[in-house]
Amino acid sequence: MRDRPVVLLKPAVRRTTLAVDVVVLSPRVDALAVLLVRAPSSARERWSLPWDAPQVGEGLEDAAARITRVVLGAAPAFFEQVGTLSDGRRHPGDAEVSVGIAALSPAGVGQPIMDAEWFPLASLPAIAPRHRTIVDHAAAVVRQRVDQSPLAFRLLPPAFTLSDLQGVYELLLGRRLHKASFRRALQASYLVEPMDEWHSEGRGRPAQLFRYAPKKRRGVRRGVRFDLFTD
């Protein structure tokens, strides 16, 4: 055991500079995309995550919603904090502390303002080091939560086909899923309900539309799944 400090803890708050950095994620063709904004020409990198300080009395998620509305024109369907950073890495506004927030937005909702653009997660331009860290955390958090939270449904419009849903899961998980298994598991979960509409996309059989409508789950308590460990 280590030596005990002689003086007790005398806690005190400290003033610091704070920013909320938002990773807006949306499914694009064949990849998850992140919304970046063009930085002022004085900045070191051309692009950055949308960010701002929370206003006085404004919650962190409220700030994230406001920032997203400004750059996308629509509030995201879902938020999740992905971590608060106070390492020394560079931030575009030189904030000492950054709160990273992932915001999920369905495909086709909103329209980026002139100075904003979607970039596939796998091929981002250069951004400030702290923003890079935040994006990586956001991707990791979303991928890790995808089968514990209805995240996938937040990346789709209210009505969707099961193929759409499977496609989003495949995007998020980064691997192909087997159609029959996917549907059987979904069926058993009572998470969606069929609508009376069909969607025809040109070729092939029209697909039935579903909506996210989770029913009370029967208490399916299972044993420990060590096979789910991620690290």
Partner DNA sequence: TGACATTGGTGACGAATTGTTACTAATTCG
Partner DNA sequence: CGAATTAGTAACAATTCGTCACCAATGTCA
Stretch that binds DNA, among 65-73, 78-86, 113-121, 200-208 (CB under 7 A): 200-208
| CA atoms of 121 and 112, how far apart (whole Å) | 17
Query: 20, 64 in Cβ contact below 8 A?
Result: yes
Cα first-last separation, the chain: 28
Q: Between residues 81 and 161, which has the closer beta carbon with respect to DNA?
A: 161
Q: Between residues 55 and 158, which has the closer beta carbon with respect to a copy of itself?
A: 55
Q: Which does residue 160 bind out of DNA, a copy of itself, none, counting CB within 5 to 8 angstroms by kind?
A: none
Q: Is 114 in the site for DNA (CB under 7 A)?
A: no
Q: Between residues 149 and 187, which has the closer beta carbon with respect to DNA?
A: 187
Query: 50, 116 in Cβ contact below 8 A?
Result: yes
| CA atoms of 101 and 80, how far apart (whole Å) | 6
Q: Is 29 in the site for DNA (CB under 7 A)?
A: no
Binding residue (CB under 8 A) for a copy of itself from 31, 81, 136, 212: 81
Q: Is 179 in the site for a copy of itself (CB under 8 A)?
A: no
Q: Is 4 in the site for a copy of itself (CB under 8 A)?
A: yes
Q: Is 190 in the site for DNA (CB under 7 A)?
A: no
Q: Is 122 in the site for a copy of itself (CB under 8 A)?
A: no
**Residue 170 exposed, middle or buried by CB count within 10 Å (0-12, 13-18, 19+):** middle
| CA atoms of 109 and 89, how far apart (whole Å) | 33
* Cα-trace Rg, the chain: 21
| CA atoms of 154 and 171, how far apart (whole Å) | 14
CB atoms within 10 A of CB 66: 16
CA atoms within 13 Å, Cβ hemisphere of 181 = 3
Q: Is 163 in the site for a copy of itself (CB under 8 A)?
A: no
Q: Which does residue 73 bind out of DNA, a copy of itself, none, counting CB within 5 to 8 angstroms by kind?
A: a copy of itself
Query: 154, 66 in Cβ contact below 8 A?
Result: no
Q: Is 181 in the site for a copy of itself (CB under 8 A)?
A: yes
CB of 226 to a copy of itself, least distance (A): 4
Q: Is 216 in the site for a copy of itself (CB under 8 A)?
A: no
CB of 203 to a copy of itself, least distance (A): 27
- Provide the binding-site residues for DNA, judged by CB under 7 A: 161-163, 178-181, 183-185, 188, 198, 200-208, 220, 222-223, 225, 227
